[in-house]
Structure 1
Amino acid sequence: MKKYFFLFIGVAFFIVACSNDDNQITNPNSTPEPETETVDITSQNFMWQAMNLWYFWQANVNDLADDRFSTNTEYTEFLESYEDPESFFYDTLLFGEDRFSFANEDYSELVSNLSGVSQSNGLEFGLGRIGDTDNVFGFVQYIWPDSDASTKDIQRGEFFTRVNGVQLTVNNYINLLFGDNSSYTLGMATVTNNTISDSDKEVVLNKIENQVEDPILIAETLDVNGTKVAYLMYNRFLSSFNEDLNAAFADFKTQGATELILDMRYNPGGSVNTSRLLASMIYGTNTNEVYIKQRWNDKIQEQLSDDYLTDYFANTTGTSPINTLNLSRVFVIATGDSASASELVMNGLDPYIDVIHIGETTRGKNEFSITLVDDPNNSYIYNSSREGDINAGNSWGLQPLVGRNENSIGFYDYTSGLIPDIELGEDLTNLGVLGDVNEPLLARALQEITGISGKFDFTVEMPAETFTSSRLETRLKDNMYLEKPLQLNK
């Protein structure tokens, strides 16, 4: 008999979980228990126990091995040798090739950020080095509508080099731009002959609490030489906007769109289920066709049913019928800032339709994560209905990678990123206006659709090379997370 309980993974507003012990994921191996300790190892014990059960690479980390400790005393002494929980997590428990797992000292902050709620001024930007120095410059990529930045004299394509009069460097940019300060003043800059120079212009920006970004920045249908082309600039996979996304596709259908340009150049990912819904809106609603399959570590994989491990294309959002364009091809704009759920859509659609990738090699994140807290009676899985069951003496939350997604033909190996069919990066001297037919990446996609070369010169004079961006410096980062009932195979 199949049994169910609700697994809260990654978002703060999911349905409650049943806590019946019969419905819990179990650790098939006997795990050690700490004995009387001389220092507080509560956090370290939680981290080890949770990671030993859930971590995708548990078998590859020596210190997480099931036979690592022969006695409870040995286990206790091991935990006591690490006084700082943060360094214990990052330096001891992570697999060397893991680029994405992270911990947060306050799980409530982690959960809030995963739901898309944050403190923000609405400015999204990339950061790059100035020449071979440690000095840093920023450039505006886009601005959230109805944000503080949207009311200020600043727009896409502008540059800045200073915050509160201090030159940005690789050592101070996190503090100055992403610290606890609720406001800051940007010192703007100009670019001439590929040289960045400070200007006198300053822009004061204020962070607003509980800001939620609408991920649908642009949804419009373009008429290009008689062809109706839907253009969707989609900047994060947030399940709270699934109905809005479906409504956008209803508009595309009403306007007679026969082609789609999906712009995910700045989309770092998010909800796996939302990626499934978007793929269905693009391709179709045949619920017998596999979208993706999950692969967990051996401990977890054997406890999950085939039905749970397989995601099919959807015919409903859960509330409304899917509005699908039933396309045989899609043009995707994706860059190095495109990750996780963005790449998942591309990989999941690839066996069924032509996915024409325009831009740059993507980030290469094919693993998903879950949110873990110190609640052993719920298999350490965060559940909003169990706040009173979480150890009050340990506020740490973990967001480790626990599995990867494979498409219907088993392909998953894109940790080096998905390579574009048509390579074209953004040009800092000509970023253009998003959604305008003359914006270079959109223009290149339209050229491919119409077959008309036009007079565009796609030479990139000053490549938009970044080492990070505003989206990757938030707690939401480039996470890809699950949010569906966990179905056990027993």
Structure 2
Amino acid sequence: MKFSKLQKGITLALSFSILAACGGSSSNDSETVVDGGTTGGGTTGGTDNQWVANEFKAKEDFANKCAIVRTGSDPYTGEVYTDTAGTLTDEKMWLRSWNHESYLWYNEVDDVDPANYDTPQTYFEILKTFAKTDSGADKDNFHFYQDTAEYRERTQGGASSGYGIRWRFGSTTPPRELFVVQREPNSPAALAGFNRGDQILEVDGVDLINGDDVDTLNAGLFPQNDGQTHTIKVKDTFGVEKTLTVTSGSYELAPVKATNTFVHDGKTVGYIQFDTFSIADAQTDLIEKFTEFRNANISELVVDLRYNGGGLLALSSQLAYMIAGDVNTNNRNYYTLKYNGKWSEDQALGFYNQEIDWDNSRFTGVDLPTVALNKVYVISSGSTCSASEALINGLAGIDLDVVLIGGQTCGKPYGFVPTDNCSTTYFTIQFSGVNAKGFGEYSDGFIPKQNPNFQTEIKGCTVSDDLTRPMGDISEGMLSTALYHMETGSCPTVKATKAVKQAGLSKQITGPAIHVPNNRFEQMIENNAIITPIKEATK
């Protein structure tokens, strides 16, 4: 199936839980991460426009009227800024009208006077539903904003700043437990010698486990700027203690971190760890790896999405095609976007089978490689979100045999169009998504079950992350569980608990791997969804 339209940058977001609260404060002030405290602040804006309850002017009346006017052009997109002189009230009134027009649950938002809020950002935080799901979770846990310059740098440049560590807290209050889940290649963390499974003992001489100097702990774990040097004492998975010196800095994000091809039980198995759909350049890595899998004639595939919080839905569609091939996907819908009935018509996406020229919003005419399998093993956790969940749901929608290994996913069947106004990019839920069978209600996540009974239950095995082994190692807990299931069709009984005990941890770690990065975009975007409008494409 060849497509004449390309949905550029359709993204479903990256799952994330800030330690204070999932989907918590999106203020630009610093946040205390270890004990969950937060602070906020703002300045009072003007009152040039009169608020009348339940009367909404067109958002265009207030668009780009800014208290602080930008000049020049965006360094990443080249687009000339269109800001004009305005007030904070103009910015808040734009938010109110834009949100009322496009928010998926606009009729569940209380219309509150914006004059009661000091800044557009604090006002934005209440422009959402506060309803709960059946499980008691927030219905909208994905409402946030990002400084536009930071957002452009992250999405257009693929770079990040900090140490390049994905952390996991077992406890954020004494006695605390904090572990290194993984590190970015060639990052400050990699150069300093951090490894998967390291337990943090001290930060700049302060006891992390029982110490009360949380300011020092947070400053050392989550530096706010490049060039900050800290010493961190760790204990590795063998019980050896060492003190590492690390300096914060820029590094490239690597969406594909581990791959492997091997023979198991007489079958050629391909394994790929894929950590984010948010970087368009990941297309190149996926094409390279799936070309290798195809040439190796693999008969089984494990796609490791345990840390993949989502990103570009177009990239997710490409990966789905590379797994399933033409016979399974031809003339089938991958994902259908469902809007609020007044902002946009529903939009169906097919399985994208060509390379994408992201700069020009078009297909290149070059076909993607595919392994054309009828079954795929997906490794998951609470950090598996959005575009990753769309992959699971989209493949299940065409009756591909999806086997889920790991933990319950985050529950993110929603998305949005990141929208800029006056130096801030806002993200508000604007669509839900369904697969080819019309199913999309997994707001509490997909659950691996040996004997599934419901659509949110996917055949598979529940198993905890194994920090004692490198990713892609066939003895690593989650991957070895997938191999066991390939061989027997059933789940092992004690593998996860055994793996944790081998690590010498004081208790089993559960829940999502908490990545507390060092820039605002990553702090708030994991667990959210992004989409940009469809553009006509020519080949």
Question: Do Structure 1 and Structure 2 share a fold, with TM-score over 0.5?
Answer: yes
Aligned-pair distance for 1:235? 0.6
CA contact (8 A) 2:203 2:233 kept: no
Q: Which runs of 5+ in 1 are unaligned?
A: 12-27, 65-77, 375-393
> What's the CA shift string for 1:185-213, capped at 9, x where partnerless?
353344899xxx9x86322222323x331
Q: 2:526 aligns with which of 472, 477, 482?
A: 477
Q: 2:120 aligns with which of 73, 85, 88?
A: 85
Q: Which amino acid aligns with 1:436?
A: D
CA contact (8 A) 1:128 1:468 kept: no
Q: C-alpha distance in 1, partners of 2:303/2:281?
A: 20
- Is 1:300 the counterpart of 2:343? The answer is yes
- Is 1:325 the counterpart of 2:371? The answer is yes
> What's the CA shift string for 1:120-156, capped at 9, x where partnerless?
32222212206xx455332111222222222222211
Q: What is the match of residue 51 of structure 1?
A: 99
Q: Which amino acid aligns with 2:487?
A: T
Query: SS at 2:325's partner residue?
Result: coil
Q: Identity of aligned pairs, percent? A: 25
Aligned-pair distance for 1:6? 8.8
Q: What's the TM-score, normalizing by structure 1?
A: 0.77
- Is 1:159 the counterpart of 2:202? The answer is no
CA contact (8 A) 1:158 1:188 kept: no
- Is 1:280 the counterpart of 2:327? The answer is no
CA contact (8 A) 1:101 1:399 kept: yes
Q: 1:450 aligns with which of 456, 478, 487?
A: 487
Flag the 1:323–1:271 CA change in 2: closer, same or farther, 3 A: same
Q: What's the TM-score, normalizing by structure 2?
A: 0.70
Deviates more, 1:326-335 or 1:155-164: 155-164
Q: Which amino acid aligns with 1:458?
A: K
CA contact (8 A) 1:10 1:114 kept: no
Q: 1:230 aligns with which of 270, 282, 289?
A: 270
Q: What is the match of residue 101 of structure 1?
A: 143
1:137-286 matches, cutoff 5 A: 137-168=177-208, 176-182=220-226, 183-190=228-235, 201-209=242-250, 211-237=251-277, 238-285=279-326, 286=329
Q: What is the match of residue 462 of structure 2?
A: 424
Q: C-alpha distance in 2, partners of 1:288/1:255?
A: 28
> What's the CA shift string for 1:258-307, capped at 9, x where partnerless?
11011111111111000000000001234411111001111123xx3x6x
Query: SS at 2:343's partner residue?
Result: helix
Flag the 1:222–1:136 CA change in 2: closer, same or farther, 3 A: same
> What's the CA shift string for 1:206-229, capped at 9, x where partnerless?
2323x3312111122111132100
Flag the 1:156–1:468 CA change in 2: closer, same or farther, 3 A: closer
Flag the 1:226–1:7 CA change in 2: closer, same or farther, 3 A: closer
Q: C-alpha distance in 2, partners of 1:455/1:276?
A: 32
- Is 1:110 the counterpart of 2:156? The answer is no
- Is 1:410 the counterpart of 2:447? The answer is no
Q: C-alpha distance in 2, partners of 1:174/1:296?
A: 40
Q: Which amino acid aligns with 1:340?
A: S
Q: C-alpha distance in 2, partners of 1:259/1:332?
A: 11
Query: SS at 1:231's partner residue?
Result: strand
Q: Which amino acid aligns with 1:108?
A: A
Q: 2:354 aligns with which of 312, 316, 329?
A: 316
Q: C-alpha distance in 1, partners of 2:377/2:232?
A: 37
CA contact (8 A) 1:188 1:203 kept: yes
CA contact (8 A) 1:63 1:93 kept: no
> What's the CA shift string for 1:56-110, capped at 9, x where partnerless?
221211218xxxxxxxxxxxxx222222322211134454421111013x21112
Aligned-pair distance for 1:484? 5.3
> What's the CA shift string for 1:145-176, capped at 9, x where partnerless?
22222222221111114433345589756654
Flag the 1:454–1:42 CA change in 2: closer, same or farther, 3 A: closer
Q: Which amino acid aligns with 1:333?
A: I
Query: SS at 2:342's partner residue?
Result: helix
Aligned-pair distance for 1:118? 1.8
Q: What is the match of residue 290 of structure 1?
A: 333
> What's the CA shift string for 1:426-480, capped at 9, x where partnerless?
356x532211111111111111112399999514144222576226753442333
Q: Which amino acid aligns with 1:326?
A: A
Superposition RMSD on alpha carbons, in Å?
A: 3.5
CA contact (8 A) 1:125 1:138 kept: yes
- Is 1:125 the counterpart of 2:142? The answer is no
Deviates more, 1:284-293 or 1:456-465: 456-465
Flag the 1:63–1:253 CA change in 2: closer, same or farther, 3 A: same
CA contact (8 A) 1:128 1:467 kept: no
CA contact (8 A) 1:43 1:396 kept: no
Q: Which amino acid aligns with 2:335?
A: I
Flag the 1:234–1:129 CA change in 2: closer, same or farther, 3 A: same
Q: C-alpha distance in 2, partners of 1:203/1:299?
A: 55
